[in-house]
Structure formats: structure tokens, C-alpha cells
Structure 1
Amino acid sequence: MHTFEIYEEYYKWHPLEGESATEIYYLEYGKDDPPNQYEPTEPLIAKSYTDDIKKTRREHKRQLWLELNGVNGVPKPVTYYQEEYAYLFYIALPGVGADEFLKEADDGTRASILKQAGRYLSALHKTKVEDCPFIFYDEAGGMHDDIVFGHGDFVLSNLIVNESYITGSVDVINIGMRDRYVDIASMAKSIETLLGQEYVDHFFDGYRILGEVDEGKLEYFKGH
């Protein structure tokens, strides 16, 4: 039995909503016999970029690199499978997307989650990595003048919340070195769109830049 047949036979696949160019499934272990080393019993995510096999492989490589470098709060890779199509498999972070969670939350819970989002991003930006090969800025500088290790698509839908606590972030295909305001602006724009401008300060407070936001860089990266 090859790798993909194991996942087809021993797991229940539940489709999740994602971007139009991706297929994402939540996998639950459903075999009666005890598992072996190739059959994790934790819930898994199976993900495929249907428009480009190379993108599926690229995100899997990023997940492996994150694990190798001890970065916390990101998906733990399990395996990668490719024939005429490709899937990456990783252990599911417990919870739901923050966008879904926050729609039904009260104001106090919203404030708490958004402050946690700021703290999570601040911790990610402080991650010390050696010789990161993923570079997303012009060496000449410009607006990229405060380079950190960042997420690259830090929006509410990529932040996972479980029982009012953030468990991590997903969609790590664009992780790498860039200006910190790429992530800050991305999340600020996401909060404004879903909840309104009045909620953004909670995120800034968590990141500890409330009252010290570089408005020029914020607006620049919102548009890029």
C-alpha cells in the first residue's frame, strides 16, 4: 500500500473552505487497528494547490524548514505525496480561523484575540533563524528598512483560534525575511475589513506599537 492509499483508506476526509485554487481537507483517523508510524492519529490537514503542483511542494518545504529551525505556532509537517497531483499533509492546529471565530465573539473576546494576534506576531518577528533562504525585499532598502522573519500572509483567516486562545498560523508558503510592516499592515487591513477600524488598536496594543505606528509604512504596505 503506497502513501496516499493509507490516507484514503484509514482517514475520513472532510472538505474545508479555501481559496479557489486550493483543495483543503480535514482528516480524522478512522481505522480500528492500532496505528503504525506512518499513521498519525491526530487530526490532519491535506492541502493541494490545484493550479500549481510546485506551490504544494514549496509550502511543504517551508513547513519542513520551520520544523528544522524550531519555529513554534506553525503547522507540523507529516508527509508529501505527488503523482499527477500533489498533497501536503500536516497535523491540524486545534481550532478555527480567527475570521470565523471573531464574527460571533463579543467585544471583550475580540479585544483579547486581537491582542494575542499582536503578541503572536511580535514573537514570530523576534524569531532568530540562521541563513534564512527565503528573502522578500530589495537589498537597496526603500520601505524595507526593518527586516525580520515574517509570515507573509498574516490575515485573520490564517490565524487559528481554539477556545479563545490562538494556537498558531497556517498558509506558511510565503514565510521569510521582509520588513515587519508587511505583516502588520496585512493584519490591520484584515481587521478593518472584517470588524472595522476601531478594532485595529487592540492588535497594535498586543504588538506594543500602540501610539507609535509608522503610518507611512502602514499605508504603503496596505497597498502592496
Structure 2
Amino acid sequence: MDPDREQACAAISVPASLSPAVLGYEWARDSVGESGGAVYRLHGRSGVPDLFLKHGRGSVASDITDEMVRLRWLAKHVPAPAVEGFVATQDEAWLLMKALPGQTAYQLLEAHPDARVGIVDALAAFLRGLHAIPLSACPFTSDHAYRLAQARERIDAGLIDEHDFDDEREGWTAEQVWDAMQRLLPMQFDPVVTHGDFSLDNILLLGGDVIGCIDAGRVGVADRYQDLAILWRDLGQFDQALQDRLLVQYGIAGADAGKLQFHLLLDELF
């Protein structure tokens, strides 16, 4: 267990239909995700894989329901966690998933500096495959108009954590982020099937290859920079050369600075 990324905790109460599946596990709560709900890793049960449980109320419950639907669709096209159980009430939802093996890209980049180039190449290859899924196969939209409408609702509802903005926007307000996005529009968008939150914590590798992605709640058709920008930003924590490597291996000769900026601003509002 990485104490910087999860904390041991007591088991939470779950619906009766999920109780047999979670029996006998130790529990740890994720301290990295920012979904607004709670994410738990269930581990320590001999002979069976770990599980992940997402739980939330209100609007978060709706988000968890959306993720369940998208996850089941995504798993038909790329490796993704199997849904082991799902329960939703009028105001609450629980999503139980089988953990994928391996480690997150963040964990591997941090632990194995000498392997970073190969890890980035694997991430780029996986992303090319995801973006090659035919648009006609995807029933979900996550394009800029849809996301901007969501962002505006979140700003108006006071849901933005302005203290969690990236360093270059420290001290900004949500309205300043919104205004900065508007100044970048209009732009020419290039739609593909996107993951929507393609961060280093949401991609798992084993034996040098990406074996799947998690946190599928934003899956949908959007500009390819929706995924590229988040991954590009995360790689900057390690080395700018890795950012450049990502774009080259993905197949982009030069980054579109406006699209990178737009999608990083947009991500601040979620």
C-alpha cells in the first residue's frame, strides 16, 4: 500500500446483493481521485483478485451510473475492469469492479526512471488504438460543447475546488479559467473516441504493455487532445522530454498549443 495514495480504512456498509462479494477483504480508501465520491480498494483475500468499489450520493451517484454504462461498453473495445456488481437507489450508487493486474503508469514512471521512454511508448500505442475505435461504434458524447455546459453548471453551483488548480493557475478563480477558455474558442476540433481522463493514475501496465484503463466515466467522442493534454501534463512531472516523446510516438509532429491549453483549462473545472 502506498500511504501517499491510499489509506487503510474500515469496510463500509453495502447493499445486501454486494455483501457476499466483498466479504473477507481488507479495505483501503483512495486519496488521489477527485471524483467527489469515494473509491476503495478491497485486498488481502487469498486466491482471488482485488476489487475496487466506487460509492457516491446525489450527483456523484449519477456519475457512477454513467461510468458503469460506459465501462461495460468500453470493455468491448479495449481492456477495462469487469463490472462485478452494481446497485443504484434514488440517491446512492455502488459500483464494484475487478481490479486489473499490474501497476499504474505513475507508479512505474516513479519507480523505474530507466524504463520511462518505453513506458511512454506503450502509453502512446494504447492511446492510438483507443482513438482508432470507429466513431459510429460509440454512443456517448464528451465533446467540448457538452463539457463546457457541464463546466458552467459546476461553476454556477459552486462545485469548483479553486485551491486544487495546477501551479500555473494558482490563485485563479473558476471564472478566470472559464474566461481563458472562451478566449481560445472557436477552434477546429478533431473527434475521436476518448477516455476523457487519460491520466497516469488511470492506466495500468504489466510486463511493459498497457493492460487496461480505469475511471471510464468521461468516455465519449471528443477531440483527441482531451486525452493527449492530460497525459502530456502528467508526464511533465517527470521530464519534458517525455512529453515530446509522447507526441512523436502518437504521431503528432508538433503540438497544438491552443488545444493543449484549452483542455487543461477545461480539466480544472472537473
What CA deviation, in whole Å up to 9, does each residue of 1:127-163 have, x standing for no partner? 1253533212249x94352110001111111111234
- Is the CA contact 1:153–1:171 (under 8 Å) kept in the aligned structure 2? yes
Go from structure 1 to structure 2 and tell me whether the alpha carbon gap of 1:113 and 1:219 turns closer, same or farther (over 3 Å shift).
same
Name stretches of at least 5 consecutive residues in structure 2 with no aligned partner. 1-14, 147-184
Alignment partner of 1:213 out of 249, 255, 267: 255
Identity of counterpart residues, as a percentage? 25
Residue 134 (1) aligns with residue 114 (2): no
The aligned runs of 1:1-224 (5 Å cut-off) are 2-19=16-33, 21-28=36-43, 30=45, 41-49=48-56, 52-67=60-75, 70-83=76-89, 85-106=92-113, 108-128=114-134, 130=136, 132-137=138-143, 138=145, 142-192=186-236, 194-209=237-252, 211-224=253-266
Note the C-alpha offset of 1:16.
Answer: 3.4
2:244 aligned partner, one-letter code:
D
Q: Distance in 2 between matches of 1:223 and 1:26?
A: 30
Aligned length: 210
**Helix, strand or coil at the partner of 2:23:** helix
2:37 aligned partner, one-letter code:
T
Note the C-alpha offset of 1:110.
Answer: 0.6
Go from structure 1 to structure 2 and tell me whether the alpha carbon gap of 1:125 and 1:55 turns closer, same or farther (over 3 Å shift).
same
Name stretches of at least 5 consecutive residues in structure 1 with no aligned partner. 33-40
Q: Distance in 2 between matches of 1:71 and 1:131?
A: 10
Which contiguous aligned blocks of 4+ residues in structure 1 show a shift greater than 4 angstroms? none
Q: Distance in 1 between matches of 2:107 and 2:43?
A: 21
1:213 aligned partner, one-letter code:
A
Q: TM-score scaled by structure 2? A: 0.68
